[in-house]
A and B are shown apart, each in its own frame.
Chain A
Amino acid sequence: MTVTGDFPTTQGTSADAASRRRLLDQDWQKLVRAGGILALGQVFIALSGMPVNFDRRLLIDPILSLGYLSLIWLPLVVSYWVGREQVLEGMTAYARGGRDVLAGAIAGALGNAGLTLLVVGITHFDIRDPLVNWSPQLLAILHFEESVWLGAVIWPVIGAATGALGGGMHCASTRITRTAVIAGLTVFGAAVLESVITDLSQGFHIEAVSDWLYGPKRGLTYPAAIVVAVAAIAVMAGIWAYRDSAMRAGLVGSRQSPAAPGESDRSRTVWRRFISRRLLGYALVIAAVVVLPLFLGRLTNELLANVGLFILLALGLNIIVGLAGILDLGYVAFFAVGGYSVAVLTSPGSPRFSPEMPWFGALFIAMLLAGLVGLFIGAPVIRMRGDYLAVVTLGFGEIIRILLLSDWLSGTFNGAQGITNIPGVEVFGLATVRGFEPRSVLYLVLFFCAIAIYVSWRLENSRIGRAWMAVREDETVAEVMGVDTVSAKLMAFVTGAVLGSFSGAILSAKVGSVFPHSFAIIVSIVILVVVIFGGMGNIPGVIAGAVVLIGVLGGPNQPGLLQEFAEYKILIYGALLVWMMLQRSEGLIPSVRRAQELHIDEMNQDAWLRAQAEADDATGGGGGNSSVGEQP
């Protein structure tokens, strides 16, 4: 419906095109509102304790710590958002300029005035009783351990500066902005990945690199930060240059514009080249994944093993939620079934029944049990409305946890003490996978991830996969078209359950013990966030979601790269879920079909507008603005 961006649409008359607005011709109401929202956000961030808790984690050695970053990023985002203007089709956008910079600066300054109030408030009142972070430490960070006056004055100034930067992003061309953002993110990523990069350079015996990149206090040294940023900019410039030359040669362009009749030959070779390059890419990724763990240290391997566990879980949930469109909030139940059945069957410490089976045998039984539980949970809920189903599956998940915890079944599951002493995995006499050897666990996880990816990929393109997608799009229509909706949905439950049980089985061998509290409902929610963040129904998306979220923030019981975030990660997962639903419900790497389903209204509207525009062109009159008031 709308075109955002800084290019005027073609239909306007040239007289009002690119007219510049005066500096003070601002939308004051919007600015004040944005400032208010920003102030509330900043005060919340300050009082949540992030600046204090993150203060010791340096990102760029003497300049920037994660604590201060937590107070700086929001003005940037809000002031960028203030400058966004929706330009209706057929209208002309104003030219961007100093006015946008000023708007961003005003919003940023207004917002950070909230921090000024906070500084004054903390010096004069003590309400530490309900608000735990209303503390002298916070005050010290807010006024840079100088005077209160400095703290009160400097924050609006910082806000104005960051805000001007955020608003100014609209003035520069898209390429420059994008390059700047990517350079910033690269520097941030390099700082966050400190432990992984140090680990890698030790593995390859090039410690000099990490020693040079990171100072003694774990942050990037600032020359290193500059070099990283310059490198990122250079890479981006290279990409733009390559695209330009390709466009000129008609290579990339042929994908965007409809191919002319004589062009088909050439575009086919392009297509073939594209495929082979893609295959080459896959091969490289696989090789890297297989070889890299050999060069990584314990911590990184452990981290990757956790990520792998969540990839497995997310792929399983992706079949239920992403492909079949059933919102299962009790997915943790299958995780628990896998974990506990392996624990009971393999551990000598299991109280009632302890056959001490080998792990693979136990895994087989765990899969069977999980499939049965999937059937048992799936059958009663299959006829329910989608939202009732969500709550009932959540109820089943909780019931399983409560039963595992209860005295009634403690004879078998040992209640809150859990089952310990679970032996490792004997891989046919070749090797033993144990929790204290993260590399072996990682290889086991990778093996099962490969199975899960292959299974999901084949299923997605099979008859049952198409049935799932049909059910997801419209159950009634699917049924009319001859899809057996009940058995399709049950199949989704069972497949998802079996994949989830893999993960549980590996977890119990990895940790060596299982406890009921590892299977709380929050695990289901985090897996759901991973699937939605990555892109429902899309395998690469789901994997990317798990790598980014679990790798950086960590799982509900597993630490990630930013261990400082431990107490904030569920907060962030919640906010992320809301934000994704509001802004990008199809996820980071969307499945094309899913995105179409989610945006069907907008696509219809676009089609309608396009048709209107064509009709206008055909009649030759109408002018640019005629279609604006008549939208349905």
Chain B
Amino acid sequence: MQLTTKQRTRVDWFLTFLRIAALALIGAGLLAFIAQAIDANNPFARWANPDALSLTGKQFRDLVVAGLAQGAMYGLIALGYSMVYGVLGFINFAHGEVFMIGAVTGAVTSSKLAEAGAWESNFVLCLLLVVFLSMVVCTVTAVIMERVAYRPLRGKPRLIPLITSIGVSFFLQNFILVLLGPGTKSYAKMPDWLTEKRTFLEIQGTRILVLAVAAVAMVGLWYLVERTKTGKAMRAVAEDAEIASLMGIDVNRIIVKTFAVGGAMAGVAGILWGLLFNSVLHTAGFLPGIKAFSAAVVGGIGNIGGSMAGGLTIGVAESLGPLMILEPLGVSGPSQLRDAVAFAVLIIVLLVRPSGIFGERLPSEERT
């Protein structure tokens, strides 16, 4: 028994050490960044990284806006992870692929619309149509996925559906690869009035559009979950599926609806990806999926508002982190490490505050 307690404290010490080290690293990076911003010649900044260039105010603002726009996209994907985890208690690993399918749908339909000549003449209407189609395709994908792969596994140990969803994820990725070929699928060219920098703070129009679309989608979702009967049933199932079924709620149907709503949000996010990056590959869903899951954890899994906040946090962190923390510490080529930064945020959050910033909302039996 003595040995057991001793071992345990050793691991705990190590964990505490890791937590402190991670926070200290972030602190040192930020301090060095601030020092360099105040005066590039100050000795602390020199010591940390003699070649570091601080950011100008404009660069900083651009990075923040770019991070927010990507973060809004992550937030929309994160909703799907969060809602499914809230209701079924497992990570739907394949949700990132649903997002990718949305982005691919957008690429195909927008280039077809551009061929027909409608894209330029009637951009707003076309965009609405593309978003709608992408939402439909993603919803259908998510519902089929639930029916085929997850429903037979209800009530199995938690890792079984997780492993299944990994399989689904790689299946969907390669499904698109073999059907549509390995090439990049490009979106039709965005109209000039959208891509040029607007007078409002000189922010690129697409980013404003992305934030606006994400906001509309969020409001719609908030209304659905908080103000409708379906939303009430979803919350009830998330709280306790068994009691909910005793109250006359068709749990299966609510689970399908949860997948459908998550899929629709991923569809919107897919179009946002297209607006931001203009092209999509069959592998495009994997990293955003993992990052969105990180966002869901950061915001507190099962918490809808938290997912959006977590998404924005991850987006800004991966956009600013490399330049504000890594570069001042003398890491060369820091932008290559942005994905690593996103993963590091997940690991640090789980080490420091595993229930996320806004607290998780899980079914009663999942809480530990």
Contact = CB atoms under 8 A, between A and B. Distances in A.
Interface residues of A, number: 61
B364 interface: no
Nearest to B4: A484
B171 A568 contact: no
Contact of A571 (B152, B155, B175): B175
A387 B162 contact: yes
Nearest to A601: B155
Nearest to A134: B179
B337 A581 contact: no
Nearest to A536: B163
A129 B164 CA distance: 32
A583 B157 CA distance: 15
Interface string B147-165: 0110011011111111110
Contacts of A64: none
Nearest to A395: B343
Given A380-B18, A581-B163, A392 B347 contact: yes
Nearest to B291: A395
A567 B178 contact: yes
A48 B178 CA distance: 5
A574 B108 contact: no
Nearest to A567: B178
Given A48-B179, A486-B7, A577 B350 contact: no
B351 A399 contact: no
B331 interface: yes
A396 B163 CA distance: 18
B167 interface: yes
Interface in A477-512: 482, 484, 486-487, 490
Interface stretch (B8-16, B69-77, B249-257): B8-16
Interface string A566-609: 01101101111110011001000000000000100100000000
Most chain-A CB neighbours within 10 Å: which of B166, B174, B290, B334? Answer: B166
A574 B171 contact: yes
A327 B171 contact: no
A390 interface: yes
A486 B8 contact: yes
A131 interface: yes
Interface stretch (A16-24, A200-208, A226-234, A403-411): A403-411
B170 interface: yes
Contact of A395 (B163, B171, B346, B351): B346
A399 B340 contact: yes
Instruction: Tell me what chain A mostly uses at the interface: helix, strand, loop, or mixed.
Output: helix
B333 A406 contact: yes
B284 to A, nearest CB: 15
Interface string B170-208: 111111011111000100000000000000000000000
B7 A575 contact: no
A402 B3 contact: no
Contacts of B4: 482, 484
B74 to A, nearest CB: 15
Contact of B177 (A391, A567, A576): A567
Contacts of B177: 567, 571
Nearest to B342: A395
Contacts of B149: 578, 582
A532 interface: yes
Contacts of A405: 336
B75 to A, nearest CB: 18
Nearest to B107: A130
Interface in A139-160: none
Contact of A574 (B156, B167, B185): B167
B272 to A, nearest CB: 21
Interface in B124-171: 148-149, 152-153, 155-164, 166-171
Interface in A518-563: 521-522, 525, 528-529, 532
B52 to A, nearest CB: 14
B336 A574 contact: no
A406 B164 contact: no
A413 to B, nearest CB: 13
A49 interface: yes
Interface string A23-54: 00000000000000000000010011100000
Contact of A528 (B155, B157, B163, B332): B163
A384 interface: yes
A571 B337 contact: no
A575 B15 contact: no
A27 to B, nearest CB: 20
Interface in A399-437: 399, 402-403, 405-408
Contacts of A386: 158-159, 162
B90 A387 contact: yes
B174 A528 contact: no
Nearest to B163: A581
A379 B15 contact: yes
B273 interface: no
A9 interface: no
A398 B343 contact: yes
Contacts of B7: 484, 486-487
Given A49-B178, A486-B8, A574 B162 contact: no
A403 B331 CA distance: 11
Contact of B164 (A48, A49, A390, A581): A581
A578 B171 contact: yes
B94 to A, nearest CB: 9
Nearest to A377: B347
A236 B340 CA distance: 56
A161 interface: no
A399 B332 contact: no
Contacts of A252: none
Contacts of A69: none
Contacts of A571: 170-171, 174-175, 177-178
A132 interface: yes
A124 interface: no
A431 B156 CA distance: 52
B354 interface: yes
Contact of A578 (B168, B344, B346): B168
B239 interface: no
A457 interface: no
B179 A133 contact: yes
Contacts of B350: 384, 388, 392
B62 interface: no
A329 interface: yes
A120 interface: no
Contacts of A581: 153, 160-161, 163-164, 167
A382 interface: yes
A130 B18 CA distance: 49
A164 to B, nearest CB: 27
B340 A528 contact: no
B339 A398 contact: yes
A394 interface: yes
B143 to A, nearest CB: 15
Nearest to A132: B181
B293 interface: yes
Interface of A: 44, 47-49, 129-133, 325, 327, 329, 379-380, 382-388, 390-392, 394-396, 398-399, 402-403, 405-408, 482, 484, 486-487, 490, 521-522, 525, 528-529, 532, 567-568, 570-571, 573-578, 581-582, 585, 598, 601
Interface of B: 1, 3-4, 7-8, 11, 14-15, 18, 90-91, 108, 111-112, 148-149, 152-153, 155-164, 166-175, 177-181, 185, 286, 290, 293-294, 297, 331-334, 336-337, 339-340, 343-344, 346-347, 350-351, 354, 368
Given A133-B179, A486-B7, A582-B149, 12 more contacts: A129-B112, A130-B108, A130-B180, A379-B11, A382-B11, A386-B162, A388-B354, A482-B1, A574-B167, A574-B171, A581-B167, A598-B157
11 contacts: A47-B179, A132-B180, A379-B15, A387-B91, A388-B354, A391-B293, A395-B346, A403-B340, A578-B171, A582-B152, A598-B156
**A-B interface, 4 closest residue pairs, ranked by CB to CB distance from nearest:** A577-B167, A407-B333, A574-B171, A574-B170
